């Protein structure tokens, strides 16, 4: 018995000594790379990971009974992960690893990359790193890994200071230990990269035939152009009269079939535009008539596609059939929406709230006549959804004037007395005038039920537009509102019962209203314009495709960058030197420049090769 | 003038178009060899046709031009010039590095013109004035005019290619070197049975509107079996026509199946050349395989309709027949029995003349021409004047 006790004690002691030795050796390696981080590690006691022994005999880890590495063979698992990751990696990229755990995946990655490849490991939690360094040795590989700690903003800054050609490699099991930190890091990194954008893209925006997302497509186009990108707008609203004329077909099935064919044809038209002038990315707006067949053809032709789905994902569910069609999805709802899209198979889905265009949604001076016609103490502008029909009558019969604007208000009951212009659709410029002419703009999000939507999360475009106009609004509570605007910027009501008291209160406080509206306007200009949204969207795409969109955004296609990187192909230099340094230069541009030499020109071999490539680039034989 | 390392000048012929165009380049190759017997000639052609080009007489090397590779290079690496351009330079370095003394370019397509200038500073034919020059050489302008106007010209495309290169048509219609190549045992036994009369039937065509209905081909096969002793019909076509060939077998009356050999999709181009080599006659509407048959020394009967025109692309050589459809659309009647009569008696029969004209091939010092009833008409006589006018500017380019 005593012998057994000593044997057990001895083995424990040996294990403890092994851990101490490994840890100390690791600290020495770490100290050479990052003394500050090494000091932090020494100070920390660890404890994030629970360490066990895998069947293969090496340490493995879990958190709250959830495995971070394989319980059987963590080394093999990490090798498979690394092999999968390196398939897409390109020379010159900085590889940023998200997820620490026991670092098996980092070691496997290091082993598969050239010596000069840069690997940065993000460390949001020192305790987790301590756990890893206690049982895994860095010797022989950890010397060629860089560690980046701090809060998400600091980490993002450190990463972009190292390189702007970044590829994120996510080891999901370890990321799930600190999901919020990594999300925040990604968001910060995206913002940091957006600030450093110097290159311009060719973006094809495909809009809907008609509907609420149509004006947003227009705002997107303006925003992208204002950011310096070349935009090709495939404006299908041109075909709206023809499409709407199909309503004259009385048979439902026949009409729907013809409408589908019409829509399919518009998709093929979009494809023809892509073939004629290939963009870097096709950016589709909700309801864009791009069928799966068209999207699959674009994918075959290596055209990146993104969809900004500005609908309530619970109400309009066509996204489920289209989920595989787009490379990137952007949605205006969070948590449940992101989860639903991921579960349905979306490879990349990101939150992107709506916004305003301050060049359109702005303060305007009104003539007395306009003020007379469009102004009121209280106004509501929008379509006659059920909850609005239910709630808005409470605004009638008070000491204030109330006007109702918008369409789809047939059989509006008592509201008919205040319905303006017989319920005609109100265009954007008139909307802006109404917002400006109204003391209190009531902004109730649409809902097909009664009262306020209990799942109401996304914030409608009206919120941003009113704010951008410097117009005061009383708005129903939305879960995502508080991260976009402060409560000091608009009157937020949590229940329908609060509507009348809120209106009454604010109506008598014009100075407060003015200050709140001014604050909301500043917030829009600072953070919520469509230009901001497009920057975020493109940075997200760039981060996910560093060798394509990312490299273009970082200016790698500009003449000066191409010349600086042309050491492997000095023949390219004479072809590039005639371009202005910051001009984006593609094969087509070089070919055009060569053709301008005129019919008598004698061309070099390199020039002939460029023209030959351009000839093959132009071929569109199997695009449609 | 650079040479190939020996004392003999090296020349390259560039023909990047399709099967029929490649085969119609045989006469200009023959003329060039006659004119410059000391020179060596390479031929640049599309990769899938290299195996055939290697069978051309007098070709030192058939060089493969792989359009797919160029596509990948042009559209690869996400358009980053720093990545794509070195790849293209490296790719091109695999081609012969010593410039050719002269390149004879037979096609006015920009790729063909660029390829010609990549291989030599001296280009004869299309693009002779420079890779960016818009001015067409006289023969290229003539061919373009013919293609657009579809007039009654009588200068065959193959002869126009000679003119383009400053040559006169060859004294004799050239053929390819006959090669012995292994066939599958069932094909081999039929192809080498000297007791059989083999009639090749080209069932497909590149364009749908140039295809003969399968029922018509069934009638041809049945007529051959009924009227030509010991006749076996050999179905010819590419892999894409396999299903059509099977459907034809289904439609054919069972008693004729033993008179049919289905080669469709079963042969490489050299094997097909070998099969043609063993046929007595080849009938079809697809000009590419007909030209191959002619190059293999077989007599052919073409059924030309839709856009196919006998005077530009009729089988090159003497003793071939072309039934030219007179209308613009798809024929209603087909010269089935008339074709069988030609094979049997070498005489035209006039039973469906309202829809088809029969043309017979001849040649003189100005090359190939087709005539009706063997009588030279005004257009045939005009060829001499055209040759003198067009070739005054381009004849006699030295290698």
A556 touches chain B (CB under 8 A): yes
Q: Which residues of B touch A557 (CB under 8 A)?
A: 79-81
Chain B positions touching A586 (Cβ under 8 A) are 79, 81
Mean per-residue pLDDT, B277-292: 95
CA distance B127 to chain A (A): 11
Contact call for residues A104 and A141 (beta carbons, < 8 A): no
Shared domain check, B73 and B25: yes
Q: Do A551 and B84 touch (CB under 8 A)?
A: no
- In chain B, the residue whose alpha carbon lies closest to the alpha carbon of A280 is B78
pLDDT class of B393 with cuts at 50, 70, 90: very low
Interface test with A, best of B72, B73, B80 (most A CBs within 10 A): B80
CA distance A595 to chain B (A): 7
User: Which of B70, B85, B118 lies closest to A572 in CB terms?
Assistant: B85
Helix or strand or coil: residue A120? strand
Residue B370 lies in a domain: no
- In sequence order, what are the residues at sequence separation of 6 or more whose Cβ sits closer than 8 angstroms to the Cβ of residue A462? A381, A382, A443, A473
What's the mean pLDDT in A37-58? 93
pLDDT for B372 equals 87
**Measured between CB atoms, does A603 come within 8 Å of chain B?**
yes
Q: What is the nearest CA distance from B336 to chain A, expressed in angstroms?
A: 36
- Under 8 Å CB pairs connecting chains A and B tally to 98
Residue B97 lies in a domain: yes
Condensed to tens digits (0 to 9), the pLDDT of residues A511-566 reads 999 999 999 999 999 999 999 999 999 999 999 999 889 989 988 899 999 998 88
**B33 within a domain of the structure (yes/no):** yes
Closest chain B CA to residue A546 = B78
The answer to whether the Cβ–Cβ distance between B132 and A547 falls below 8 Å is: no
Q: How far is A483 from chain B (nearest CA, A)?
A: 37
pLDDT at B3 over 60: no
Q: A166-170 and B123-125 as β-strands: parallel, antiparallel, unpaired?
A: unpaired
A436 vs A371: CA distance, rounded Å? 9
Other CB atoms within 10 A of residue A456 CB: 19
Residues of A in contact with B71 (CB under 8 A): 616, 619
The residue extents of the domains of chain A are 2-195, 202-355, 368-528, 561-624
Q: Are residues B160 and B191 in the same domain?
A: no
Q: Is the pLDDT of residue A20 over 70?
A: no
pLDDT at B379 over 90: no
* Selected residue of B67, B70, B74 to mutate for chain A interface (largest A Cβ count, 10 A): B74
Q: Is A114 on the interface with B (CB under 8 A)?
A: no
How far A283 CA sits from the closest chain B CA (Å)?
18
Question: Which chain A residues contact residue B111 at CB under 8 A?
Answer: 612, 615-616
- Rounded to the nearest integer, the mean pLDDT of chain A is 92
Q: Which of B44, B85, B95 to mutate to test the interface with A (most CBs of A within 10 A)?
A: B85
Token pair, residue A562, equals 């191409």
Section A596-620 average pLDDT: 91
Q: Is residue B169 part of a domain?
A: no
Residues of chain A with C-beta less than 8 angstroms from the C-beta of B46: none
Please identify, among B113, B133, B164, the residue that sits at the C-terminal boundary of a domain: B164
Residue B395 has pLDDT above 50, yes or no: no
Please enumerate in sequence order all residues whose Cβ is within 8 A of that of A518, keeping only pairs 6 or more positions apart, or say none.
A470
Q: H or E element: which one contains A492?
A: strand A491-493
Alpha-carbon gap, residue A149 to B206, rounded angstroms: 65
Closest partner CB to B74 (pick from A548, A598, A616): A616
Same domain, B219 and B343: yes
Q: Is the pLDDT of residue B192 over 60?
A: yes
Please name the residue ranges forming H helices in A99-151.
Answer: 104-111, 126-135
Measured between CA atoms, the residue of chain A closest to residue B110 is A615
For residue B92, the chain A residues in CB contact (below 8 A) are: 605, 609
CA-based nearest residue in chain B for residue A619: B71
**Do residues B316 and B158 make contact, with C-beta atoms less than 8 angstroms apart?**
yes
Choose the closest CB to B132 out of A586, A587, A597: A597
Out of A566, A569, A605, name the one closest to residue B118 (CB): A605
Identify the band that residue B394 occupies on the pLDDT scale cut at 50, 70 and 90.
very low
Q: Nearest by CB to A599, which of B78, B79, B130?
A: B130
pTM to 2 decimal places:
0.81
Q: What pLDDT sits at residue A232?
A: 97
The 10s digit of each residue's pLDDT in A258-309 is 999 999 999 999 999 999 899 999 999 999 999 999 999 999 988 999 999 9
State how far the Cα of A162 lies from the Cα of A166, in Å rounded to an integer. 9
B interface mutation test: which of A541, A558, A609 has the most B CBs within 10 A?
A609
Is a pLDDT exceeding 50 seen at residue B5? Answer: no
| A135: Cβ contacts below 8 Å, ≥ 6 apart | A19, A22, A51, A59, A102
A474 DSSP β-pair partners: A442, A491
What confidence category does residue B147 fall into, taking pLDDT thresholds of 50, 70 and 90? Answer: confident
Contact B117 A603 (CB under 8 A): yes
**What's the pLDDT score for residue B154?**
83
What pLDDT band is residue A596 in, cutting at 50, 70 and 90?
very high
Same domain? B120 vs B244: no
Q: CATH number, domain at B16?
A: 3.40.50.2000
**B82/A568 Cβ within 8 A:** yes
Determine the pLDDT at residue A571: 84
Cβ–Cβ < 8 Å for B310, B358: no
Interchain contact A277–B (C-beta under 8 A): no
pLDDT tens digits for B131-142? 999 899 999 999
| Best CA proximity match to A503, nearest among A352, A415, A401 | A401
Asked whether residue B51 is assigned to any structural domain, the reply reads yes
A111 touches chain B (CB under 8 A): no
Q: How confident is residue A332, by pLDDT bands cut at 50, 70 and 90?
A: very high
DSSP E strands, A375-446: 376-381, 402-405, 438-443
pLDDT, tens digit, for every residue of A23-42? 999 999 999 989 999 999 99
DSSP string, A301-350: TT-EEEEEE-S-TTT--THHHHTTT-SEEEES--HHHHHHHHHHT-SSEE
Give yes or no for A156 touching B (CB within 8 A).
Answer: no
How many domains would you assign to chain B?
2
Instruction: Quote the pLDDT of residue A617.
Output: 87
Q: What is the pLDDT of residues A131-173, one digit of tens each?
A: 999 999 999 999 999 999 999 999 999 999 987 789 999 999 9
Which range is least confidently modeled, A490-494, B87-91, B144-148?
Answer: B144-148
Could you please state the CATH topology (level 3) that the domain comprising A202-355 is classified under.
Answer: Rossmann fold (3.40.50)
Q: Give a yes or no: residue B263 inside a domain.
A: yes
Collect all residues from B whose CB is shorter than 8 A from any CB in A: 67, 70-71, 73-75, 78-82, 84-86, 88-89, 92, 110-111, 114-115, 117-118, 129-135
Mean pLDDT in residue range B220-242: 94
Tell me whether residues A611 and B131 touch, CB distance under 8 A.
yes
Q: Which of A562, A599, A619 sits opposite B134 (nearest CB)?
A: A599
- Given B82, B92, B135, which is nearest A562 (Cβ)? B82
Largest CA distance in chain A: 103
pLDDT over 70 (residue B4): no
Positive/negative CA dihedral, A337, A338, A342, A345: positive
* CA B226/CA B240 separation, integer angstroms: 29
Residue B179 counted as domain residue: no
Q: Do residue B286 and residue B236 come from a single domain?
A: yes
Q: Quick check: A330 and A284 in contact, CB under 8 A? A: no
Task: Identify the domain containing residue B335 by its residue range.
Answer: 185-364
Question: What's chain B's average pLDDT?
Answer: 89
Give every CB contact of residue A329 below 8 A, 6+ residues apart in sequence: A306, A307, A309, A319, A323, A341, A346, A348, A349, A350
Residues of A in contact with B70 (CB under 8 A): 612-613, 616
A422 in Cβ contact with A404 (< 8 Å): no
pLDDT at A3: 57
Please state which CATH number belongs to domain A2-195.
3.40.50
Residues of B in contact with A547 (CB under 8 A): 78
Q: Are both B107 and B205 inside the same structural domain?
A: no
Query: pLDDT tens-digit profile of A427-449?
Result: 999 999 999 999 999 999 999 88
Q: Are B24 and B146 in the same domain?
A: yes
Nearest chain B residue to A303, by CA: B78
Task: Write down the pLDDT at residue B295.
Answer: 96
Q: Between B81, B111, B130, which is nearest A602 by CB? A: B130
pLDDT band at A474 (very low <50, low <70, confident <90, very high): very high
Residue B321 belongs to what H/E stretch?
strand B321-325
A6 band by pLDDT with thresholds 50, 70 and 90: low
Closest to A569 (Cβ–Cβ): which among B89, B92, B132? B89
Q: Do B193 and B140 lie in a common domain?
A: no
| pLDDT for A390 beyond 60 | yes
- Give the pLDDT score at B397: 44
Q: Which residue has the tokens 């005009």?
A: B382
Q: Which residues of B touch A571 (CB under 8 A)?
A: 85, 89
The distance of B53 to chain A (nearest Cα, Å) reads 23
ipTM: 0.91
Band of the pLDDT at B83, cuts 50, 70, 90?
confident
* Residue A557 touches partner B, C-beta closer than 8 Å: yes
Q: Which of A401, A361, A405 is closest to A381 using CA atoms?
A: A405
What is the rounded radius of gyration, in angstroms, for the C-alpha atoms of chain B?
22
Taking alpha carbons only, the member of B2, B5, B106 closest to residue B53 is B106
Q: pLDDT value at position B2?
A: 37
Name the percent of chain A lying above pLDDT 70. 96
The mean pLDDT value for B276-302 works out to 95
Q: pLDDT tens digit string along B27-81?
A: 999 999 999 999 999 999 999 999 999 999 999 999 999 999 998 898 876 678 8
Q: Which tens digits make up the pLDDT trace of A86-129?
A: 998 888 889 999 999 999 999 999 999 998 899 999 999 999 99
Tell me how far CA of residue A623 lies from CA of A94, A301, A616, B75, B138, in angstroms.
Answer: 35, 8, 13, 13, 35
> At residue A16, does pLDDT exceed 70?
no
- C-alpha dist (Å) from residue B153 to A160, A224, B26, B49, B312: 70, 57, 21, 29, 8
- As a whole number, mean pLDDT of residues B300-308 equals 92
Q: How do A376-381 and A402-405 pair as beta strands?
A: parallel
On the question of a common fold for A202-355 and A368-528, the answer reads yes
Strand-pair partners of A403? A379
Return the CATH number of A368-528, one of 3.90.198.10, 3.40.50.620, 3.40.50.300, 3.40.50.2000. 3.40.50.2000
């Amino acid at each position: 018995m005593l012998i057994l006790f000593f044997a057990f004690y001895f083995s424990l002691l040996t294990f403890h000594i092994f851990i101490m030795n490994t840890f100390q050796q690791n600290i020495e390696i770490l100290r050479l790379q990052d003394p500050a981080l090494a000091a932090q590690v020494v100070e920390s006691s660890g404890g994030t990971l629970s360490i066990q022994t895998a069947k293969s005999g090496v340490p493995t880890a879990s958190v709250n009974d959830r495995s971070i590495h394989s319980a059987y063979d963590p080394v093999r698992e990490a090798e498979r992960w690394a092999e999968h990751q390196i398939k897409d990696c390109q020379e010159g990229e900085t590889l940023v690893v998200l997820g620490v755990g026991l670092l098996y995946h980092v070691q496997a990655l290091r082993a598969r990359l050239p010596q000069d490849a840069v690997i940065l490991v993000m460390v949001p939690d020192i305790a987790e790193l301590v756990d890893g360094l206690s049982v895994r040795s860095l010797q022989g590989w950890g010397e060629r890994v860089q560690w980046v700690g701090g809060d998400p903003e600091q980490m993002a800054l450190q990463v972009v200071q190292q390189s702007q050609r970044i590829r994120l490699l996510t080891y999901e099991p370890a990321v799930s230990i600190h999901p919020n930190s990594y999300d925040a890091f990604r968001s910060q990194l995206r913002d940091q990269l957006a600030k450093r954008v110097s290159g311009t893209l060719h973006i094809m925006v495909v809009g809907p035939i008609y509907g609420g997302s149509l004006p947003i497509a227009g705002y997107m186009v303006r925003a992208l152009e204002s950011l310096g990108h070349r935009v090709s707008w495939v404006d299908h609203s041109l075909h709206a009269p023809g499409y709407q004329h199909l309503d004259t077909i009385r048979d439902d099935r026949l009409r729907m079939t013809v409408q589908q064919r019409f829509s399919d044809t518009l998709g093929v038209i979009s494809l023809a535009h892509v073939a004629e002038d290939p963009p870097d990315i096709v950016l589709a707006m909700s309801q864009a008539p791009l069928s799966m067949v068209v999207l699959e053809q674009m994918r075959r032709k290596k055209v990146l596609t993104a969809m900004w789905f500005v609908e309530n994902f619970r109400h309009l569910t066509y996204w489920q059939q289209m989920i595989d069609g787009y490379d990137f999805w952007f949605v205006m709802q969070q948590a449940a929406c992101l989860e639903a899209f991921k579960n349905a198979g979306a490879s990349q889905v990101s939150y992107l709230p709506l916004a305003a265009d301050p060049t359109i949604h702005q303060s305007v001076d009104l003539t007395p006549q306009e003020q007379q016609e469009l102004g009121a103490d209280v106004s509501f502008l929008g379509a006659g959804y059920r909850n609005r029909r239910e709630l808005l009558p409470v605004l009638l019969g008070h000491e204030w004037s109330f006007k109702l604007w918008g369409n789809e208000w047939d059989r509006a009951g008592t509201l008919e007395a205040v319905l303006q212009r017989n319920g005609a659709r109100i265009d954007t410029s008139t909307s802006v005038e109404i917002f400006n002419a109204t003391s209190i703009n009531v902004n109730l999000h649409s809902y097909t039920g009664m009262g306020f939507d209990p799942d109401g999360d996304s914030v409608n475009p009206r919120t941003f537009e009113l704010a951008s106009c410097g117009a005061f609004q009383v708005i129903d509570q939305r879960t995502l509102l508080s991260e976009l605007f402060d409560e000091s910027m608009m009157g937020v009501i949590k229940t329908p019962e609060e509507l009348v008291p809120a209106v009454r209160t604010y109506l008598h406080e014009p100075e407060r209203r003015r200050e709140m509206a001014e604050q909301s306007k500043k917030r829009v200009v600072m953070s919520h314009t469509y230009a901001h949204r497009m920057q975020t969207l493109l940075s997200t795409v760039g981060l996910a495709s560093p060798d394509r969109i990312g490299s273009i955004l970082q200016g790698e296609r500009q003449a000066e960058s191409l010349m600086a990187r042309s050491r492997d192909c000095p023949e390219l230099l004479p072809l590039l030197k005639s371009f202005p340094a910051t001009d984006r230069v593609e094969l087509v541009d070089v070919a055009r420049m060569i053709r301008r030499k005129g019919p008598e020109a004698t061309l070099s071999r390199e020039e002939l090769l460029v023209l030959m490539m351009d000839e093959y680039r132009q071929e569109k034989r199997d695009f449609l | 003038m650079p040479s190939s390392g020996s004392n003999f000048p090296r020349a390259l012929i560039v023909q990047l178009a399709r099967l029929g165009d490649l085969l119609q380049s045989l006469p200009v190759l023959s003329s060039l060899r006659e004119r410059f017997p000391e020179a060596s000639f390479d031929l640049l052609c599309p990769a899938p046709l290299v195996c055939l080009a290697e069978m051309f007489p007098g070709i030192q090397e058939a060089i493969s031009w792989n359009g797919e590779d160029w596509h990948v290079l042009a559209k690869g690496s996400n358009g980053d010039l720093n990545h794509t351009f070195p790849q293209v330079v490296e790719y091109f370095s695999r081609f012969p590095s010593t410039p050719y003394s002269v390149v004879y370019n037979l096609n006015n397509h920009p790729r063909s013109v660029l390829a010609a200038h990549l291989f030599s500073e001296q280009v004869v034919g299309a693009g002779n004035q420079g890779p960016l020059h818009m001015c067409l050489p006289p023969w290229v302008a003539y061919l373009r005019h013919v293609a657009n106007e579809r007039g009654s010209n009588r200068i065959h495309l193959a002869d126009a290619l000679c003119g383009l290169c400053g040559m006169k048509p060859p004294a004799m219609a050239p053929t390819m070197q006959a090669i012995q190549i292994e066939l599958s045992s069932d094909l081999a036994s039929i192809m080498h049975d000297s007791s059989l009369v083999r009639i090749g039937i080209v069932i497909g065509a590149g364009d749908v509107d140039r295809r003969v209905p399968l029922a018509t081909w069934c009638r041809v096969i049945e007529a051959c079996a009924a009227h030509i002793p010991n006749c076996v019909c050999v179905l010819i076509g590419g892999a894409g026509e396999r299903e059509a060939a099977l459907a034809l077998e289904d439609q054919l009356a069972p008693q004729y199946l033993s008179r049919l050999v289905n080669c469709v999709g079963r042969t490489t181009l050299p094997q097909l050349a070998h099969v043609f080599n063993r046929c007595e006659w080849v009938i079809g509407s697809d000009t590419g395989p007909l030209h191959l048959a002619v190059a293999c020394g077989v007599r052919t009967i073409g059924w030309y309709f839709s856009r196919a025109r006998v005077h530009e692309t009729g089988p090159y050589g003497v003793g071939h027949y072309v039934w030219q459809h007179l209308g613009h659309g798809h024929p209603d009647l087909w010269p089935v029995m008339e074709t069988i009569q030609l094979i049997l008696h070498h005489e035209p029969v006039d039973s469906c003349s309202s829809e088809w004209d029969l043309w017979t091939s001849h040649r003189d010092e100005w090359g190939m021409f087709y005539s009706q009833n063997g009588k030279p008409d005004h257009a045939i006589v005009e060829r001499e004047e055209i040759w003198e006018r067009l070739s005054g500017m381009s004849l006699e380019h030295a290698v």
